[in-house]
Amino acid sequence: MVVDIAGGTFSANEAASITDVPLKEVHRIIDRGLLGSAVEVVDGGRVLQGIGLLALKMAHETRAVLTLAGRRRLVGFLLRQTEAKAARTSCVSVDLASMRDDVQSGLAQLRRARNEVVSDPAVLAGTPCIRGTRIPAHDIAEMLASGDSVESILKDFSWLSASQIELASVYARAYPRRGRPRREPLHQRKQVALSEAVFDDLPAAGS
């Protein structure tokens, strides 16, 4: 699946999820002005244009071999030559094609996560849950972050798949929970009755 990275805008959290660049590093790269015109301010927040995802990936991957000025020159080249397959300085050649593939893969994964995690006002007051269940995606992500393995989660919630668990984590990284959680994290209440996590006939995404 080829995803066009030229269009759309993305928050810092979405960019971190798509590119696998740590969120703090995303903000650091933006703060240093490395992404130039690929960054916009929308409703008081900074967002990246689609090509900015590739620029972000490149700026991060070359941090150990190029100076700040060198990275800025490479990003400038990319923003002028958005279809380029490689970028070069006097001493470094960067394979943009492979980075572009990585970004496209990250975008496709985020799209799958957004399809797998749904919000319904009738289910837990609209809390984003894994499709077909009453299990909040952020609770599953917190379990993984706390050290639980996918296998251990599957033992407790056998009706989930490994793919759903992975996509819940992707979703939570791109769309972090805001404010104080309404309920205790799922890993603190593993003995939850099955009746609280039964399958629901939820509407399809976008319906």
CA distance 8 to 6: 7
pLDDT tens-digit readout, 94-146: 888 899 999 999 999 999 999 999 999 998 888 999 999 999 999 999 999 99
8: amino acid identity, one letter: G
Q: Helix 162-174 to helix 12-19 angle, to the nearest 10 degrees?
A: 140
- In tens, the pLDDT along 73-86 reads 888 888 888 887 88
Residue 146: Cβ-neighbour burial (10 angstroms; 0-12, 13-18, 19+): exposed
| The residue to which tokens 């995802």 are assigned | 53
Mind giving me the DSSP string for 3-20? ---SS-EEEHHHHHHHHT
pLDDT band at 187 (very low <50, low <70, confident <90, very high): very low
| Cross-strand bridge partners of residue 117 | 130
Q: Are 118 and 124 in contact (CB under 8 A)?
A: no
Q: Is 89 strand, coil or helix?
A: coil
- pLDDT tens figures, 147-185: 999 999 999 998 999 999 999 999 999 999 876 544 444
